[in-house]
Amino acid sequence: MRKRSFTLIELLVVIAIIAILAAMLLPALNKARDRGKAISCTNNLKQLGLVMINWGDDHDGYYMAAYCNPYDWLNAKTYPPNGGTVRAGLFWSNVMVDDAGYFTGYIRNLNLLHCPAQGIKNNTKIYMDPDYGMNAFFGTGTDGMYSETKYYHKNSEMIRPTDTFILADCVPNKSIGQLFPHWTDDWRPYNRHGKEANFLWADGHVTAANNKEITYASLGSVLYYYWRIKAGKLP
């Protein structure tokens, strides 16, 4: 019995069907991949939140500062404020690793500072350019527009831990780990995951939200509500 073979038209029809199915499935696969990266980013922030807690326990209940500039602080002249010896000019991410100059660092896995959605980074010193920025209201010692940025803050000062963020996705290669609401977009939270950025809040939980919703939100007379540590008590 003679075997029947596919004709060229039949082969083209099969190829066309496969191409159509692939085109239908590809967006779903990409969405699942992006969702996986967002989840990994969330886990990174949660672990960094635990590091922040350990820092506070080791430093008299003080929060880590976004930027170490001891010469302009209003309530201390050293960093950490309990008599530490970290040199000036270091960011929170420097302090977390062994670049701080007075201890061996709080994290060994530098990938915690890298968001998977940002793609491959060739920078081996990612702590010099982290994918997450820290809320400048936790202290930079440099910006006098809001007095909170010029103080070290203790955990006891935090009024709204569920509504004050510490870290968030930041613009790559721009903010150098600091976030300010009243500067340009390069210094504000960055929507790396579609139309949302991931935020680590002071109580340790992580949520995704649109960067503008968090950046510009106000409550009554409290401007930049989600940034402030000492302003804006809940009703």
Could you tell me which residues come within 8 angstroms of residue 161 by beta carbon, excluding any fewer than 6 positions away?
201, 202, 203
CB–CB of 146/66 below 8 Å? no
Instruction: Give the pLDDT of residue 144.
Output: 52
pLDDT tens track for 143-179: 555 666 667 788 888 888 999 999 999 988 765 788 9
Q: Is the pLDDT of residue 92 over 60?
A: yes
Q: How confident is the model over 13-27, as pLDDT tens digits?
A: 778 888 887 777 767
Most confident of 41-50, 52-61, 101-110, 124-133: 41-50
Closest to 68 measured CA to CA, from 48, 87, 84, 53: 87
Q: Which residue has the tokens 């002249």?
A: 77
- Please report the pLDDT score of residue 234 as a whole number: 41
Q: Give me the pLDDT at residue 102, please.
A: 44
What pLDDT, on a 0 to 100 scale, did the predictor assign at position 3?
60
CB burial readout 75-91, b (16+ within 10 A) else e:
ebeebbbeebebeeebb
The string of pLDDT tens digits covering residues 182-234 is 878 888 999 999 899 999 999 999 999 999 999 988 887 788 889 988 765 54
Q: What percent of the chain has pLDDT over 70?
A: 70
Q: What does the pLDDT read at residue 173?
A: 73
Please give the residue that has the higher pLDDT: either 77 or 17.
17
Confidence of residue 43 (pLDDT cuts 50, 70, 90): very high
Measured between alpha carbons, how far is 193 from 209 in angstroms, rounded to an integer? 9
What is d(CA 37, CA 31) in angstroms, rounded to the nearest whole number? 10
Tell me how crowded residue 50 is: count the other CB atoms within 10 A of its CB: 12
Q: What is the average pLDDT value for the chain, to the nearest integer?
A: 78
Instruction: Check residue 199 and give its pLDDT.
Output: 97
Nearest to 139 by CA among 54, 38, 76, 67: 67
Q: Facing residues of 90 across strands?
A: 68
